[in-house]
């Protein structure tokens, strides 16, 4: 249950982002809601990020935590261990919050019943004269603008995008094939009012601290893709309400690289698809509504769509997507075999 006057911990993982981090902290300095502290989990890189954090300690209650090893989910785990606020808000080191960002998150918990997590809008922007400027109107990293699909694509997606039971009206949801996807009908109203959503992006979301007590991300992540939905699923299984509030917004500065902990671009593209597709195997055995049949259908039909784009439309980037899909299945099957071996050894010891 949320406290009457809740306090907030803002968690920022960062790596080699001193220049942008100063804009993020300056955005926090100007918040309308003041009862919050900032927890910066920093992986040292020698770029002067430590000095930036110390500078803003004049205006903000900032705690600097040094991360010696691991990737973004390991930074998040360090932050979850140390966060003290009733609400833990997540912010990327290249996401500049609106002045009412913390206030909007807090109000979302106060105005709606049994809320365990809130996602906010992530708006692509560029820095112009030191100020963030949105790139286009109604452009969002969370609310998709759906292009027209071919008849074949529409039929195929209606088959593999079937949501888990209970997620039919969610903006962001997990399908029975274990894929993170978006509901086009919900996206039509998501600009105007809060809607249900299995969180969104780690650049802008929050959770109730008591709801994530004891939760930690598994370490088999590099980029953290789909980790938000992994966390959201755990809250959803505890029967918390999860919402997307379009007014709780941040500017996501476009600058080429995202928070990927020093992964080269060619590798990053491949890993992005692999990590997205591995969510099925991370949840397999935990979520009974995941379906092997839907997974096989998704694998075959989505591969057909990508091969068509590659051969007919010469979209050569589909090669990376196809490789990622195949590799995720190989890794996932290896995980399942390891689990079976461990369970078999345990059963032998029990006998």
Total structural domains within the chain: 2
Residue 153 confidence (pLDDT): 66
Of 184, 296, 282, 270, the residue nearest 231 (C-alpha): 282
For position 33, which CATH number holds?
A: 3.90.550.10
Q: Do 198 and 272 have their domain in common?
A: no
pLDDT at res. 350: 43
Higher pLDDT, 336 or 199: 199
> For residues 327 and 268, which has the higher predicted lDDT (pLDDT)?
327
Do 249 and 273 fall within a single domain?
Answer: no
**Percentage of the residues of the chain whose pLDDT score is greater than 70:** 91
What pLDDT band is residue 146 in, cutting at 50, 70 and 90? Answer: low
Domain end marker among 253, 283, 307:
253
pLDDT confidence tier of residue 33, bands split at 50, 70 and 90: very high
153 and 245 belong to one structural domain: yes
On whether residue 258 sits in a domain, the answer given is no
**Claim to verify: residue 269 and residue 242 sit in the same structural domain:** no
Same domain for 139 and 49 = yes
Same domain, 225 and 325: no
Q: Which of 209, 228, 253 is the last residue of a domain?
A: 253
pTM score of the predicted model: 0.91
Q: Is residue 103 part of a domain?
A: yes
DSSP-based three-state secondary structure for 333: helix
Work out the average pLDDT over 126-131: 91
Higher pLDDT, 269 or 191: 191
326 has pLDDT over 70: yes
pLDDT of residue 259: 47
The reply to whether 1 falls in a domain is: no
- Domain assignment of residue 280, given as a range: 265-350
Contact yes or no for 49/16 (Cβ under 8 A): yes
Instruction: Collect contacts of 76-83 with beta carbons under 8 A, ≥24 apart.
Output: 76/11, 76/13, 76/41, 76/202, 76/217, 76/224, 76/227, 77/216, 77/217, 78/41, 79/11, 79/13, 79/39, 79/41, 80/11, 80/212, 80/215, 80/216, 82/39, 83/9, 83/11, 83/39, 83/209
Sign of the CA dihedral 269, 270, 274, 275? negative
Is residue 84 domain-resident?
yes
Q: Rounded distance, CA 23 to CA 49, Å?
A: 12
Give the Cα separation of 193 and 203 in Å (integer).
20
Residue 260 lies in a domain: no
């Amino acid at each position: 249950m949320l406290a009457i006057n809740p306090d907030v911990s803002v968690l920022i993982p960062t790596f080699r982002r001193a220049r942008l981090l100063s804009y993020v902290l300056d955005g926090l300095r100007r918040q309308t809601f003041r009862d919050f502290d900032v927890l910066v989990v920093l992986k040292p890189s020698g770029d002067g990020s430590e000095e930036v954090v110390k500078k803003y300690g004049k205006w903000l209650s900032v705690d600097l935590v040094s991360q010696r090893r691991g990737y973004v989910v390991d930074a998040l785990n360090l932050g979850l261990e140390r966060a003290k606020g009733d609400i833990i808000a997540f912010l990327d080191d290249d996401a500049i919050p609106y002045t009412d960002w913390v206030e909007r998150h807090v109000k979302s918990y106060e105005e709606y019943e049994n809320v365990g997590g809130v996602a906010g809008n992530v708006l692509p922007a560029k820095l112009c004269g030191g100020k963030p400027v949105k790139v286009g109107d109604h452009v969002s990293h969370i609310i998709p603008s759906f292009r027209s699909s071919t008849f074949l694509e529409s039929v195929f997606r209606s088959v593999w995008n079937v949501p888990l039971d209970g997620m039919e009206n969610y903006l962001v949801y997990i399908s029975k094939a274990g894929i993170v996807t978006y509901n086009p009908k919900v996206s039509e109203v998501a600009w105007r009012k809060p809607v249900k959503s299995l969180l969104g992006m780690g650049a802008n979301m929050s959770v109730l601290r008591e709801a994530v007590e004891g939760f930690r991300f598994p370490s088999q992540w590099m980029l953290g893709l789909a980790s938000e939905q992994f966390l959201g699923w755990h809250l959803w299984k505890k029967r918390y309400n999860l919402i997307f509030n379009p007014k709780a917004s941040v500017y996501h500065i476009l600058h080429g690289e995202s928070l990927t902990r020093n992964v080269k671009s060619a590798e990053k593209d491949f890993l992005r698809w692999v990590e997205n597709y591995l969510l099925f195997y991370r949840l397999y055995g935990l979520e009974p509504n995941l379906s092997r049949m839907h997974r096989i259908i998704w694998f075959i039909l989505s591969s057909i769509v990508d091969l068509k784009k590659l051969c007919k439309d010469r979209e050569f980037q589909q090669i990376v997507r196809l490789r990622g899909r195949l590799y995720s299945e190989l890794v996932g099957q290896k995980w399942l075999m390891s689990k079976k071996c461990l369970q078999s050894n345990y059963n032998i010891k029990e006998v």
